[in-house]
Structure 1
Amino acid sequence: MEGDERYTREHIQIREENNDMLHSEANRIKMEDEHSQAAIRDSEQRKRELPISLTEEEDGRISPKQQRRSPSYADDSRQNLQAGMPLKGENLELIKSESREVTPLQPIDSNIQLQRPTGGLVSRDSNSSDSSTSSTDSKGRPRESMYPEIFGEMITTVLEHEAYLFTASERILLESFASMDYEARHLLARLIQRRNTWHRVDKLRYDFDVKDKATAVTSLCQPHSDILALQSEIEEEGDGSITRFCLSEQDMDEGFEEPLNLLTLAELKELAKNMNRLKGVTNKASIISSLLTTKSQGTLHGFGDSNPNEIRSQAAVLREQLTAIVGGCVKVCPKAQSLIDRIALVYYRGAELGTSALTTAVLSKSRKRAYPDYVWKRSEKLFASRKHLVEMQQALQLEIQMDQWIEWDGSRDAIAKAMEAFEHVYERWKEAVREGEALAKDSYDLGAYNRMRFHPGWPLTRVVYKGVYVLGRSHKHEREAEVLRALLGQRVFRRGRRGDWYDRLALITANYPPSTTPNAIRKAKREALAISVQGIEDRDTHLIYQDTLQRRITRLENQLNLPFSEKHDFSYAKLRKCEDRIFRGVRLDKMMTEKKGIFGSTMPIPGQKERRSMSRDPSASDEYSFKYRAPLRKVVKVERMEAKAEEPEQAEVDEGDTPTKDQEESPKSKYSVERRDVRKDMHSVWRGLDGQPCRVEYLVLQHYEKQNFKGFHCEGGVLTMLFALVMWDILFMHVDGVFETPYQRQPLDILEDSFAIVRGPALRQRLVEIENTGGLDLIKQTDDRERERKTWAIGCKWDLYTQEDLLEIAECMGGKALSVVCQMLAEEWSHCTSGMPDLVVWRHADKQVRFCEVKGPGDKLSDKQKLWIDVLLRAGLRVEVSKVEEKK
C-alpha cells in the first residue's frame, strides 16, 4: 500500500550573522520621532534587503528571539516528495545541510524582477535571480513583501491562461486581490500559509507590514459587491456563497470550544478562576473540559455582586469573559481556501496544498535555492473542464482521506468509512476509464498517457485499489477479485501498478477457491499460476514486482507437482545470497516505565522520589478523570573512560570470513557511569569503539572502519544521488506537462509510472550506456557543472557526498549494478526511496562495496527493506543484515 502522509506544515529558519544588528537598528529607528520618516524608510529598505527567513508567523524577518532559539527539525517524511512544491522532509534536509555552511548568504538584489510565466518556451537561467520588485513604489514607500506579490503572480498566471476553469464569481473574487489594500493582501498571503483554523488578531505577528490589522481583517471579511449582484449565477453554478476571502469572529459557531482553544494556558487559568472552575485542573485540555461543562449549569451571580436582579446564566458570563479576552478573530473562509487550493493545483500541476503554495517561489526569489536549468512551458488544456478540475481536487482529497482511514487509523469504523467511500466512487471510476480509453484512441503519442495524470481517473484509480485492500480486510474476496480484474482490464491509468495487481489476484485466486474439493483447489492454483506468468510477461510489470511474482510461480509449481520440464527456472535472477553478520556492543539506554497517576499514565520526573498513596487500591478518579498518555522517554548512561586500552594492530580481514563471526573489540577499556540523562529520542544508544555514545548504525560503521572501509549512514542517499547525476539530462528533458513553473527541483511526473513510460527510449539507451561504461564520466561531468551552484535538485546532497566518494562507490558497484538500481528508481521513485539499506561501506583498494541493513535487538526487516535487498542481490551486489546484540 502507498500510505504516505503527503503534507504537513513547514517550519524553515535560515540564520545570518548580521541580522541581530540590523534588526535592533531598525527597531531603534522606528521608536524615534515621527517626523524622521526618511530615516525609517532607509532602515526598512536595508532590512528588507536581508535574506528572508520563513517562519510560521513572521514575513521574512528574523527577530532576536528567533535567532537565540535553536531550531528543531523532524525528518520523518523524506520519502513523500511533491513535484514543484517542497515537502516537509525535503525542505528540512535542505535547512539541515545549509546550517552546516560557514559562508554567509549574500543580500538580495532588490532591483531584480520576478519573471512572469508567459506560457511560451522559456529557458530557466540559473544565474538570474528572481528577487523582489523595485525597492520603492511610485510614492517612495518601501517595496512590498514577496508573499502578496507571488500570490498575485500565481492568480494572474492561472487566470491569464485557464480562466475557463473558474466561475464568474470565482474570477471576480480572485481578480479583486490585485485591487485590495497592501496590508490586506499581505495578511491574506500569510494566512493561506498557515493551518486553516481561527487566529486571534492580536496574536498575528505581522506588525511590520500590517500596521492596522483590524482594518485589514475587515477588508478581507467584507463580501464583494459585484459577487452579491451575481447571486442567481452563483446558485446555478453551485459554488455557494463564496463572496469573501475570510471569516470574522461574528461567523464563529455558537459553541465555546473554538474560542477556548485560542486562549493561552495563563488566560485559561485566569478564566477558570473567575468561573470557579480551577480546582483540580492544571493543564490546558482539562481546563477546557471543565469550562465546557459551564454551559450546562444553571445560573451564576455576577462577579462581586449578589443582587438577585443581576443573576445571569453561566453561559452568558462565559461568553462575555471570552469575548473580552479573545477580541477579534479571523479565518480563511473554507470555500475560499478550497478555491486557493484549486489555484495552486492548476498553477503547480498537481500540488494541491495551498498552505505551501508560496514557499518554493519565495525561496527561489531570496536566492536560498538555485534550481536546475530546464525549459518550462505552461501547457494548454491539461484540465479539460471545470468539472474535471473540481473532480480532480475532490479525488485528491479522498485519496488522502483513504490513507488516513486505512494506514493511520485502521479501526473498524475507519474501514467501514473507507468501504463506503470506495463504493461511492467505483462507478465514477469505471466511467473515467471509458473516457480515458476514448481519449487514448485519438492519440498514440506517449505524451498522451502523461496527460492522463490530470484526469480525475488517475487519483480515483488509487482510491479504487485502496478499496481492494478494504474488501480483503472485510473477507469479500470474490468482489475483490472482480475489482482487480477491472483494474487489470485497463491501461489508461497507473500502468506501473499492474505487477502488484497481478500478485494480489493470484494470491486470492489460489487461497480462496469457489469450493474445497481437490479438483477445485487444483484448478484455482493453476489459474493463479497462469495469472502470475501473465504478470511476469506483461511489459508494464516493473522490476519491483518481478521477485514477488517469481517466488509465487515457484511456490505454485511445487504445490501442483509439475514435472521439471514444465517449471520455470529463475536461478539466473540472483547471483548472491544475503548475509547475516553479528556485532556485539554495550547498550547505554533503557526505557522508562510508566507510573499510574491521577490523570492516567505518566512518566516519573528525573531525580524525583516516588510518592506512594495511602491506599494500594486504584483511585476511582483514574477511571473518570481526563487522561492523557505521557511522552515516552529513555534513561541514557553518561560514562567516563577510566582506563583506555591499547590499540591493537590492524588485522587484515580475509574475504572468506564466516559472515556470522562475532565482531568484538579487544582488549577492553574500563568505564564508570558518571550520570544518567533522560531523553525523548527513541533511537537506541550504544557505546562506540571510541568510548563515545552513538547510534547502532555508527557502531557498525566503526567496526567496518577498523577493516579499512569507508562508509556512510545514508539510507539510500548515495544511490539516489548517483541516479540523479547519471540521469540528469533525462530528468530535466522537455516533456509536455512536466515543467510548468520555474520553481521545480524535479519533473512533475517523477512520482508516477508515466515518468519511465514517456521517457522509455531515452531511459533504455542510458541504462545500456551505464552498464557498458560504468557511468563514471556522466557522474563527473554533472558533478563538475552543478556542485559549485549546489543546485536544488532531486536526490542531491552536495554537502554530504564528495565527488571522489561518489566516483569510488560507483566504480566499486560496477556498471551492471548501477544500471539495475537506476532502472528501479526510474520506475518506482515514490515507492522505493524508502526502505533502502542503512549503510553503504566500500574499500576502493580492492573494489569492495557492501550495503548493510542494521538491526538492533528485536528489530525485523520491513517489506520494503526486503524488496531492496532482493533488488540489490539481483544486481549482483553484496548485501548484509548487520545484527547488533548486547554483550552479556
Structure 2
Amino acid sequence: MFPPGEDDPCFASAGHDTQAGSSRKRAGTCNDAESLKRAQPQHSIHVHVFRDVLRVVLSHERYLFSEEECSTFDVFEQLSDAAQHLYVRLFLRKHGWIRARTLAYDGIDDVAAALEELFKAGLADGEHAVESVEEVLALLNAGELDMLVGAAGRPSSVDFDLDCKLVKLRVAGIQAFQRSHLIYYRVADPDDPPIVKALLSAFGLRQYPEYTVHRSSTVFADRNALLAYEEALAVESEIVELLAGDSDEHARWVYTRIMGHGLKALARLKRYEDEAALLCKLLDQRTYCIGARGVWYERLALVQERYLHDRRAALATCGRALEDPTVWTASQQTIQRRVLKLQRILAVPFSEQRSFTHLSIREADVIFISGVRVGTSPSGTRAVYRLGEDATEGTVEELALCHYASQGYQGLHAEGSIFTLLFWDILFSERDGAFETAEQSAPLDLATDAFYVGCRGEIDARLRQIEDVDVEHGKVLIPIRDVDEDEHDTATPLSRLYLQLISQVYAREAPRNTMCAGVSWQYSRTVLLEIARCLGGSALSAICRLLAQEYTRWSSGVPDLCLWKSSTSECKFVEVKSPNDRLSESQKVPSVYAYICIQLTR
C-alpha cells in the first residue's frame, strides 16, 4: 500500500523511525521544516505529516486495524494530491456539514474537482445525505437565523441558498484516521490534537527538545486491547465532562482513574459509606495509579473521622499510610498532622503514640495589607485596585507586588521553569514508552506516577546533589550576571551545581524557544539564577521532589507570587487570599518542606 519511507525525503526528514524499536537523535525542527519545504511546495506539508503517521503505524502495528480500515487507507493513498490535501484540511476542522463554497485553501486550485473525487471515493457525503432540518439549521449564521425567524409563516420570502453544495466526511473514515493517530501519538487530546503539534513543528513554528525517539510496537497486544483502551477513554471522557475533572492512560489504568472520579460523585451525593468502601478497594490494589494512593489515604481518613465518626479507624488508616512506601512526601505530611490530632483527641497513651518531633512544622505567616478597590476588569471577572498615588490600577496580585517592592523585593507571578531546567537531562533521557514521537514537550509518563518510579535512582541522586551543595558551600551571597550564549561562564562564580545546570540549559534552549512543559522563556536567565540562589539547595531539592513525584498535582498548586531580595538572599512564595479563604493542603506542604513562608494578604 505505502512504499518504503526511506525513499521519501520528507518522510526521512520528519524524524520518524522506519523500524519499530530503533531510535535516533532528533535533529532541530527548523531543519526538518526546511527539508519539507525543499522537497515539496509548502501546502503539501499537511499531507506529508498525515501520511507519515500512516506509514509508521501500518509498518509496525497494522494488526490493530480491520480490513475495512486498511481499505480506507488504500483509498486515501490513491487520491490525487489535491484531494488528499482537501481531506486532511477537512479532517482537521470540526466534523459536520460544511458549505462547499466556503472552502478555499492555498495549493488546491480546483476545490470542486477535489470534492467530487472525495465523493466518488466514498470518503465524504454531499447534501443528498442530509437527514434532518436541524443539520441544515446548524449551518446558518446569526443573520440568516434572524431572517428565518422574521419570515416565519412566509417561507417564500426567505431567500436562503439552502440547496447549496454541502460536504461532510464520513464517520467510518474519520474513526479510522483518529485510531491511527491514537496509535501513533499514544495520547488522545481533543483540545490540543497531537497532529496539530506535528504540523506546527513541520512548518518551523514550534521547536521541541532534543531527545531519542524510540517507537514501541507492543503497546497494544492486539486489536481487542486497543478497543478496550478506546472504550475506557470514552467512558472517562464522559465522566470527566460530568464532573469537570481531568483525564489520561491503558484500559485498566483508565478504569482505575474512572473509579477515582466516582469518588467525587459519591462525595457530592454524601454517600460516605460507599465512598469509604470504594477507597478501600482502590487501596487494596497496588498496580494502577500508585501516585494517587496518598490522596486516597488522606480522603479515607477524613471520611472515617468526620462523616463516619470512627476516629480509631481513621487513626488506623493513617498508620497504614505511613507504612506504605508508595505514599509520597506531600501526603505523608498531611497524614502526620492528622495522626497528631487524632492521638490527642483519643487520648492515646504516650507510650503508644507516634512521634514526629523530627519535623519542622511551621504555619504560614499571615500579614494584612489594605487596598482601595476602584472597580472590576473589562471582563468583569476580577477586582481592580488603586496601586499608588499616581492613579495606577491593577489586580490584587499587583497590589501585593507593590507592597513588597516597597520593602526591596523583586517579584513575578510564580512559575515552574526551574524544576524543568534542573531535571532537563533526566526528563528527556531515553526510556521505553516515554518518547514515541518527535513532537513532545514532555515525556508521556511525566503526568503519571511512572515518571518517578522509573527514574527514581537518577532523580534521587540529582536531589541529593542539589541539597548537598548548601552543606558544602553554606548560605553565602553569590553575585549573578547575565552572559551571552557564546560567552564562557568562568567569570561568574556558579560553583553550585544547580546554578550551573540552570545556566547551561537556558543558554542552549532559550534561543530556540524550545516548547517544553513547565518552562516560560519570558524570564531572563539572570532572574531564574537569582531566584534559585535565594532559595538555596535545600529548598530547591524539597520543591523538586514534590514535582518529580506528583507533577500534575503540584504544578497546579504553585502560589500566586514569587518574591526575592538579592541583598539578603531571601525568597518568599506568597499566596493572595481573601479574608474568608484558606490555604489548600497543596499550598501548605511546600512551606514546610522548603522552609519558605507562604504569606497571606487580606
TM-score by length of 2: 0.87
> What amino acid maps onto 2:383 in structure 1?
S
Give yes or no for the alignment of 1:247 onto 2:247: no
State the aligned residue count.
563
**Residue 877 of structure 1 corresponds to which residue in structure 2?**
596
Q: Residues 253 and 554 of structure 1: is their aligned pair in 2 closer, same or farther, counting only changes over 3 Å?
A: farther
Give yes or no for the alignment of 1:149 onto 2:39: no
Q: Residues 475 and 110 of structure 1: is their aligned pair in 2 closer, same or farther, counting only changes over 3 Å?
A: closer
**Residue 394 of structure 1 corresponds to which residue in structure 2?**
231
**Residue 14 of structure 2 corresponds to which residue in structure 1?**
114
Give yes or no for the alignment of 1:576 onto 2:576: no
Give yes or no for the alignment of 1:758 onto 2:447: no
Q: Residues 383 and 372 of structure 1: is their aligned pair in 2 closer, same or farther, counting only changes over 3 Å?
A: same
Q: Residues 201 and 159 of structure 1: is their aligned pair in 2 closer, same or farther, counting only changes over 3 Å?
A: same
Conserved in 2, the CA contact under 8 Å of 1:112 and 1:134? no
Conserved in 1, the CA contact under 8 Å of 2:123 and 2:170? yes
**Residue 217 of structure 1 corresponds to which residue in structure 2?**
115
Deviation readout 1:719-748 (Å, 9 max, x if unpaired): x21101110111011110111111111101
CA deviation after TM superposition for structure 1 residue 274, in Å: 4.2
> What amino acid maps onto 1:545 in structure 2?
S
**Residue 270 of structure 1 corresponds to which residue in structure 2?**
147
Residue 581 of structure 1 aligns to a residue whose secondary structure is coil
Conserved in 1, the CA contact under 8 Å of 2:104 and 2:111? no
Q: Flag structure 2 segments of 5+ consecutive residues without an equivalent.
A: 1-8, 471-497
CA deviation after TM superposition for structure 1 residue 859, in Å: 6.2
> What amino acid maps onto 1:860 in structure 2?
D
Give yes or no for the alignment of 1:783 onto 2:482: no
CA deviation after TM superposition for structure 1 residue 350, in Å: 1.9
CA deviation after TM superposition for structure 1 residue 162, in Å: 0.5
Q: How far apart in 1 are the matches of 2:548 and 2:96?
A: 39
> What amino acid maps onto 2:274 in structure 1?
R
Q: Residues 561 and 134 of structure 1: is their aligned pair in 2 closer, same or farther, counting only changes over 3 Å?
A: closer
CA deviation after TM superposition for structure 1 residue 151, in Å: 0.7
Percent identity reads 32
Q: How far apart in 2 are the matches of 1:355 and 1:759?
A: 27
Q: How far apart in 2 are the matches of 1:561 and 1:544?
A: 26
**Residue 482 of structure 2 corresponds to which residue in structure 1?**
none
Conserved in 1, the CA contact under 8 Å of 2:16 and 2:438? no
Give yes or no for the alignment of 1:567 onto 2:347: no
Conserved in 2, the CA contact under 8 Å of 1:756 and 1:763? yes
> What amino acid maps onto 1:184 in structure 2?
A
**Residue 326 of structure 2 corresponds to which residue in structure 1?**
540
CA deviation after TM superposition for structure 1 residue 465, in Å: 1.7
Conserved in 2, the CA contact under 8 Å of 1:337 and 1:354? no
Match of 1:501 among 296, 316, 319: 296
Conserved in 2, the CA contact under 8 Å of 1:113 and 1:132? no
CA deviation after TM superposition for structure 1 residue 840, in Å: 0.8
**Residue 700 of structure 1 corresponds to which residue in structure 2?**
400
Q: Residues 143 and 754 of structure 1: is their aligned pair in 2 closer, same or farther, counting only changes over 3 Å?
A: closer
Deviation readout 1:813-843 (Å, 9 max, x if unpaired): 1111101110111111112222311111111
**Residue 478 of structure 2 corresponds to which residue in structure 1?**
none
Q: How far apart in 1 are the matches of 2:42 and 2:328?
A: 52
Match of 1:827 among 549, 558, 568: 549
Q: How far apart in 1 are the matches of 2:80 and 2:583?
A: 54
Deviation readout 1:377-400 (Å, 9 max, x if unpaired): 111211111111111112112212
Conserved in 1, the CA contact under 8 Å of 2:11 and 2:48? no
Q: Residues 143 and 582 of structure 1: is their aligned pair in 2 closer, same or farther, counting only changes over 3 Å?
A: closer
Conserved in 2, the CA contact under 8 Å of 1:117 and 1:741? no
Residue 460 of structure 1 aligns to a residue whose secondary structure is helix
Q: Residues 784 and 115 of structure 1: is their aligned pair in 2 closer, same or farther, counting only changes over 3 Å?
A: closer
**Residue 683 of structure 1 corresponds to which residue in structure 2?**
382
Deviation readout 1:162-219 (Å, 9 max, x if unpaired): 111111110110232222122221122122222223222122342x233333333333
CA deviation after TM superposition for structure 1 residue 687, in Å: 1.4
Q: How far apart in 2 are the matches of 1:511 and 1:683?
A: 35
Q: How far apart in 2 are the matches of 1:152 and 1:111?
A: 9
Conserved in 2, the CA contact under 8 Å of 1:158 and 1:343? yes
Q: Residues 144 and 787 of structure 1: is their aligned pair in 2 closer, same or farther, counting only changes over 3 Å?
A: closer
Match of 1:129 among 10, 31, 53: 31
Residue 601 of structure 2 aligns to a residue whose secondary structure is strand
TM-score by length of 1: 0.60
Conserved in 1, the CA contact under 8 Å of 2:15 and 2:26? no
Which stretch of structure 1 is more off in the superposition, 534-543 or 503-512? 503-512
Q: How far apart in 1 are the matches of 2:443 and 2:153?
A: 60
**Residue 729 of structure 1 corresponds to which residue in structure 2?**
425
**Residue 488 of structure 2 corresponds to which residue in structure 1?**
none
Conserved in 1, the CA contact under 8 Å of 2:229 and 2:251? yes
Q: Residues 367 and 548 of structure 1: is their aligned pair in 2 closer, same or farther, counting only changes over 3 Å?
A: same
**Residue 494 of structure 2 corresponds to which residue in structure 1?**
none
> What amino acid maps onto 2:125 in structure 1?
L
> What amino acid maps onto 1:367 in structure 2?
G
**Residue 183 of structure 2 corresponds to which residue in structure 1?**
346
Q: Residues 193 and 135 of structure 1: is their aligned pair in 2 closer, same or farther, counting only changes over 3 Å?
A: closer
> What amino acid maps onto 1:565 in structure 2?
S
Question: Larger RCO: Structure 1 or Structure 2 (Cα < 8 Å, ≥ 6 residues apart)?
Answer: 2
> What amino acid maps onto 1:723 in structure 2?
F
Which stretch of structure 1 is more off in the superposition, 767-776 or 744-753? 767-776
Residue 433 of structure 2 aligns to a residue whose secondary structure is coil
What is the alpha-carbon root mean square deviation over aligned residues? 2.8
**Residue 572 of structure 2 corresponds to which residue in structure 1?**
850
Residue 109 of structure 2 aligns to a residue whose secondary structure is coil
**Residue 19 of structure 1 corresponds to which residue in structure 2?**
none
CA deviation after TM superposition for structure 1 residue 112, in Å: 9.6
**Residue 200 of structure 2 corresponds to which residue in structure 1?**
363
Conserved in 1, the CA contact under 8 Å of 2:375 and 2:383? yes
> What amino acid maps onto 2:315 in structure 1?
L
> What amino acid maps onto 2:116 in structure 1?
T
**Residue 745 of structure 1 corresponds to which residue in structure 2?**
441
Q: Residues 265 and 469 of structure 1: is their aligned pair in 2 closer, same or farther, counting only changes over 3 Å?
A: closer
**Residue 469 of structure 1 corresponds to which residue in structure 2?**
264
Q: Residues 859 and 221 of structure 1: is their aligned pair in 2 closer, same or farther, counting only changes over 3 Å?
A: farther
Residue 546 of structure 2 aligns to a residue whose secondary structure is helix
Q: Residues 351 and 117 of structure 1: is their aligned pair in 2 closer, same or farther, counting only changes over 3 Å?
A: farther
Q: How far apart in 1 are the matches of 2:326 and 2:434?
A: 21
Q: Residues 580 and 117 of structure 1: is their aligned pair in 2 closer, same or farther, counting only changes over 3 Å?
A: same
Conserved in 1, the CA contact under 8 Å of 2:86 and 2:114? yes
| 1:344-493 matched pairs, under 5 angstroms | 344-353=181-190, 356-407=193-244, 455-493=250-288
Conserved in 2, the CA contact under 8 Å of 1:587 and 1:686? yes
Deviation readout 1:423-482 (Å, 9 max, x if unpaired): xxxxxxxxxxxxxxxxxxxxxxxxxxxxxx963111111001222332343344443333
**Residue 476 of structure 2 corresponds to which residue in structure 1?**
none
**Residue 6 of structure 2 corresponds to which residue in structure 1?**
none
Conserved in 1, the CA contact under 8 Å of 2:72 and 2:173? no
> What amino acid maps onto 1:879 in structure 2?
I
Residue 584 of structure 1 aligns to a residue whose secondary structure is coil
Conserved in 1, the CA contact under 8 Å of 2:534 and 2:570? yes
Q: As a proportion of its length, which structure holds more helix?
A: 2
Conserved in 1, the CA contact under 8 Å of 2:418 and 2:528? yes
Conserved in 2, the CA contact under 8 Å of 1:198 and 1:330? yes
**Residue 337 of structure 2 corresponds to which residue in structure 1?**
551
> What amino acid maps onto 1:247 in structure 2?
D
Residue 842 of structure 1 aligns to a residue whose secondary structure is strand
**Residue 49 of structure 1 corresponds to which residue in structure 2?**
none
> What amino acid maps onto 2:590 in structure 1?
V
CA deviation after TM superposition for structure 1 residue 127, in Å: 7.0
Give yes or no for the alignment of 1:171 onto 2:55: no
Q: How far apart in 2 are the matches of 1:703 and 1:472?
A: 40
Q: How far apart in 1 are the matches of 2:408 and 2:231?
A: 55
**Residue 518 of structure 2 corresponds to which residue in structure 1?**
795
Match of 1:526 among 312, 318, 323: 312
Match of 1:804 among 513, 526, 533: 526
